[in-house]
Amino acid sequence: MSSLPPVVNLQAFEAVARRRSFALAAAEMHLTASAVSHQVARLEAHLGARLLERSAHGVRLTAAGERYLERVSGALAAIGLATEDVKQGVSNSLYLHCSPSLATLWLMPRLPSFAKANPDIVLNLSATPTHSDFALGPAEIDIRYGVPHWPDLVVEPLFEERIVPMASPAFIRAHRLDSVDQLARVPLIQSNVSVVQWTDWFATHANRRAPERFALRFDRAQMAMDAATLGLGVALESATLAARLLHDGKLRPVFGLEPSIRVKAHFVVYPARHALRPPVEAFLAWIHAEAAKGGESPAPARARTGTRRGRP
C-alpha cells in the first residue's frame, strides 16, 4: 500500500476536477485555493503525471486526469459512505445499484415490503444506466439489464418477460388496430437500448421487415411507455415493467400477450463474497421471492451462472 498517495491529495484533486475550479474546491474543503493547488501538485508529483491543465478560462482534465478521476471518485465515495456508517452506528447497510426503469417501475413499488420485513437494514439505492464497478464503488448488488456477460461475478436471472406492442386504449381505438399489418402504418416508438427491437418482433410475428423510421426514440423503457400512454404511438416494451400501467388501463397490449417475445434480460449481479453479508443474503432472498410473485413466467430463484468465488 506504500504507493497510495495521501487521501487529502486525492480529495483535493477530486474536488477540483468535479468543480472545475480551485476556488470552489477550496471553499468546499474549507482551505485556501493555494493549499488546494499544493495538494494537487503533490499528487501529480507522486504519480509523475499531469492531471489538470490550468488556464485563464478555468481548469480542465488531461487524458490521464480523466482516467484517474474515473477510478478514484468511486473509491472516495465508498470510503465516505463507510465512514458515515461507522459514525452513525450503522452496521446493517446495503448498497444497491439498479437500472433506472426497473428501479422506478418495478423495484420501488415493492420496497415497502422489504423495509417491513427487514427494519434493521439501511438500504442505499442508486439508479444509473452504467453498471457498477464493484472494485471501485460501494455497490454490493447490481441489478443489470442486457445480455449477460460479466465474468467472475454471480449472475442470477430475475424473471422472464414478455415483450409486446402496447399503446393507450384511445390510440388503439382511434387507429382501429386489430391486425399486425396495421402497425406498419401507425407511429412506432423505438427503445434504443432494448434487447428486443421492432425488427425482431416483425420478423417473428409479422413475417415482414419493420419500418425503418420511428416517430420517437428513447434510451429508457419508462420514457417509451410514458410516450405511449400519451397517445404518441405504439411502444414495444416489457409487460412485466408495464404491469401497473396495464392494470390501471393506461396502456393495453395491442394484440394481447400472445404475440410476444420472451426474454430474460434483468439480472441480479454481485461478487460471490458479498453474499456472505447478512443484508445481501436477505435482499437476494426477498427480491427472488418478489420476482416469483409478480413475473408472468418467473425464472427459477437463485439460478446462477458465472464464476463463484469466496463461497463454501
pLDDT tens digits along 130-144: 888 877 677 889 999
Sequence-distant (6+) residues with CB within 8 A of 75 are 136, 137
**Quick one: CATH architecture of 7-86?**
Orthogonal Bundle (1.10)
Give the residue, 278 or 228, on which the prediction is more confident.
228
Write out the three cell numbers for 279. Answer: 443484508
pLDDT of residue 133: 80
7-86 and 91-159+264-294 have identical folds: no
Residues 6 or more apart whose CB falls under 8 angstroms from that of 242 comprise: 105, 166, 225, 251
Nearest Cα residue to 204 out of 260, 147, 265, 256: 260
> Any idea where the domains of the chain sit in the sequence?
7-86, 91-159+264-294, 161-263
Cα angle 198-181-243, degrees, rounded to a multiple of 5: 50
How far is the C-alpha of 162 from the C-alpha of 133, rounded, in Å? Answer: 29
Q: Which fold has domain 91-159+264-294?
A: D-Maltodextrin-Binding Protein; domain 2 (3.40.190)
| CATH annotation of 161-263 | 3.40.190.10
Confidence of residue 310 (pLDDT cuts 50, 70, 90): very low
Which position has the higher pLDDT, 147 or 88? 147
Rounded-to-integer distance, Cα 117 and Cα 122, Å: 12
Cell of 230: 400519451
pLDDT digits (tens, 9 = 90+) for 3-51: 788 888 988 998 898 888 888 989 988 889 899 999 999 999 999 999 9
Write down the pLDDT at residue 87. Answer: 56
Specify the pTM: 0.70
